[in-house]
Chain A
Amino acid sequence: DGGITQSPKYLFRKEGQNVTLSCEQNLNHDAMYWYRQDPGQGLRLIYYSQIVNDFQKGDIAEGYSVSREKKESFPLTVTSAQKNPTAFYLCASSARDGTRGEQYFGPGTRLTVT
């Protein structure tokens, strides 16, 4: 089955620790995205990548880092510099050609930092 997987579903960390969230897709999509969602709020873009070995900051990139070494994978690291890391993190992907930008989401990772 084609789709986007994110792991783990729930993640708990102590304040001051870096943590890496996994995102893998087998849809052969070129573009991948990371969003953050806080309770009662919309989605905010953290980073996005339209091609391997290239990525751009979104609206709230401070305290986060990413890599895009493979087309299928776009891991997100939440660093200790992120002041309010507890949130629901969503990974998405889209094709670059032949579509008009539909993005498809993975199941999400709920991160709690105490």
Chain B
Amino acid sequence: QKEVEQNSGPLSVPEGAIASLNCTYSDRVSQSFFWYRQYSGKSPELIMSIYSNGDKEDGRFTAQLNKASQYVSLLIRDSQPSDSATYLCAVIPTGFQKLVFGTGTRLLVSP
């Protein structure tokens, strides 16, 4: 079982819709969770971090964490074509100082 799993997509949504990106992880006691956005040919950019159960909102982005079910999600409200990118989920397993990345979900937002 992979440590961090994401559906590779592409996830296609129309402009203005809500995009929902999901990620599951295997280490039950992981404490730190991150979402990165990566445009084609560019480096990853940190867009959200979440550490406790529940929701965390930042502008159009909401990260949701459910430790009991071992999943973390990212909601993008009012999706824009400029949101089209690959979204990487990353987790720090307990006792480690390094991030473990999923392979990413490609999001396509059509005008």
Contact = CB atoms under 8 A, between A and B. Distances in A.
Nearest to B4: A42
A1 interface: no
A48 B99 CA distance: 11
Interface residues of B, number: 21
Interface in A13-63: 31, 33, 40-43, 45, 48, 50, 58
Interface string A101-113: 1111111100000
Contacts of B34: 101-103
A31 B97 CA distance: 9
Contacts of A103: 34, 46, 90, 99
Q: What interface size band does chain A fall in?
A: 20 to 34
Given A101-B32, A105-B43, A45 B88 contact: no
Interface of A: prevailing SS? loop
Interface string A81-110: 000000000100000000011111111100
A58 B98 CA distance: 9
13 contacts: A31-B97, A33-B98, A41-B103, A42-B88, A43-B44, A48-B97, A50-B97, A100-B49, A101-B92, A102-B34, A103-B46, A104-B46, A108-B42
Interface of A: 31, 33, 40-43, 45, 48, 50, 58, 90, 100-108
